[in-house]
Amino acid sequence: MKKLLSALLAVCLMVFMFPSDAKAINFIPSFEVNSQSAYLMNLDTKSVIYEKNSEDEQMPASLVNIMTAIIVLENCEDPDSVSIIANDALYDEFDNYDYPDDLRYAEIWDGDKLTVTEYLYALMLTSSCEAANILADYFGNNSIEAFVEKMNSKAAEIGATNTVFKNPHGLYDPEQVTTAKDMALITQYALTVPGFEEIATAEEYELKPQNVDSEHEGEWMISHSNIIMSAASDYYLYGVKGIKTGNLQLGGRNIITMGTSDGNKYLLVLLNAPFYDENGDSKYYHIHDAYNLMEWVFDNFNYQILLSKDEEIAEIKVSDSDGNGYVLIKPEREVSSLWYNDVDTTAIQKNIILAEDVVAPVKKGQKLGQIELKMSDEIIDVVDLVAADNVERSLLKFNLSMTIDFFSSRWFAVAIIASVMLSLTYLAICLWAYNDYKKRAKGSFSNKKIVKKLYGNNRRR
């Protein structure tokens, strides 16, 4: 049942994630964004507020864990009731890893018996390498490679076509790549999977091994690596939650986080922020960027009406109308969007195209043009312009215009020319026939005179 629900959610997401009228303009913050790639969007409207190199290829690091969690949750009916015993043989690959500073552990030791839910919390909060391999081995039927194949199939299904997964934990592999836009797609999908958001946005979680012989000798607490959500952090920002961080010495620092302000939900993806400043000191530039961008969007964006449905755009002349001969046109729908407070909406260009040669009758709501909203060469939206009222036809004007149109039409000219040509042809035929008759008549008289001369009046009768 859970798999069916997830499949239905996937179909709904494909429709909802790409609404035909979801357009926006890319605003640029006044501060520097250190991350090489960025993608900030509104989750309610799916409109992009800010992006930077969002389709450039980057390394996901442990952002990979988002897809790992998706596959596990979609293949486990009840993660609270399924338990797995940790086997440290699955940790062997970490012993020979070339960049040990990339490794993240949740201190899950050999023999610890935890639920799938607990492994997922360790995976998402701490980027636990051991949790990633334990889950992948179990749900890949003892084959991590088979699990990774499921990850890539799901990425293709979601539409993340520039993403390739090579492992479930996100450690360095030159062929494991993604983009900020793809990770936004994957995360949006993950948020529709039951249980994911609750896990990915928890600030902390307590692991409780079921085996009494665990070396932990009881419970232990793990905390989320996104310190922006922690009130004890210098980077704390109210409204920010989870979702995942990731670091690679060869791929930079990454973060995906979400936040809510004034009823608006946002998703932010940052990839490949530098590890060090110009002096060689370690810096959390991904956290710095995330804090600044979230604060910026919280403080500076509000919904504004860019085009009112009641706005009178123009009047169009209507021929043969029973009235003043004009119809007022208005936008078919209202256009509203999250808008940067420092940018005046009067700066929006309104390119209007109106219908020509409009003839009554005109029905209210009839399309009579289009208006394009544009700013800095970016199209915000295109809206049909429609008649505000009915315009009835005047039969007198209609008949008169039809008469005038006929006499001024090319067909009338053709008819006149054809009539003249036919008349001239008929006249020519008449003249020819008359001349022919005269010749015949004259010829007949001459023949009678010759006969009389030859025979006189004694011609035998």
Domain end call among 249, 266, 301: 301
38 and 186 in a common domain: yes
CATH number at residue 391: 2.60.410.10
252 and 354 in a common domain: no
335 and 257 in a common domain: no
Q: Helix axis angle, 180-190 relative to 144-158, nearest 10°? A: 100
Q: Is residue 389 assigned to a domain?
A: yes
Could you check whether the bond before residue 331 is cis, i.e. omega within 30 degrees of 0? no
Interatomic CA distance for residues 371 and 351, integer angstroms: 6
Structure tokens at 123: 């995976």
187 and 89 in a common domain: yes
366 and 428 in a common domain: no
221 and 82 in a common domain: yes
Domain end call among 301, 332, 350: 301
388 and 246 in a common domain: no
CATH number at residue 196: 3.40.710.10
Domain end call among 263, 279, 301: 301
364 and 280 in a common domain: no
- What amino acid occupies position 118? E
Q: Which residue segment(s) compose the domain that 245 sits in? A: 2-301
One digit per residue, the tens of pLDDT, for the chain of length 461 reads: 444 444 443 434 333 343 333 455 789 999 999 999 999 999 998 999 999 999 999 999 999 999 999 999 999 999 999 999 999 999 999 999 999 999 999 999 999 999 999 999 999 999 999 999 999 999 999 999 999 999 999 999 999 999 999 999 999 999 999 999 999 999 999 999 999 999 999 999 999 999 878 888 788 999 999 999 999 999 999 999 999 999 999 999 999 999 999 999 999 999 999 999 999 999 999 999 999 999 999 999 998 899 999 999 999 999 888 778 889 999 999 998 889 998 999 999 999 999 999 998 999 999 999 999 998 888 999 999 999 999 887 654 444 454 555 566 676 667 778 778 888 888 888 888 878 777 777 665 555 555 555 556 555 54
Residue with tokens 């302000």: 261
Cα 292 to Cα 35, 83, 300: the distances in Å are 12, 41, 12
What per-residue confidence (pLDDT) applies to 129?
98
Q: How many domains does the chain fold into?
A: 3
Q: Is residue 89 assigned to a domain?
A: yes
Q: Cβ distance 252 to 272 under 8 Å?
A: yes
pTM score = 0.78
Q: Is residue 460 assigned to a domain?
A: no
Q: Is residue 383 assigned to a domain?
A: yes
Q: Is residue 461 assigned to a domain?
A: no
What per-residue confidence (pLDDT) applies to 426?
84
297 and 314 in a common domain: no
344 and 228 in a common domain: no
- In sequence order, the 6+-apart residues with CB closer than 8 A to the CB of 405 are none
296 and 283 in a common domain: yes
328 and 211 in a common domain: no
- In sequence order, the 6+-apart residues with CB closer than 8 A to the CB of 100 are none
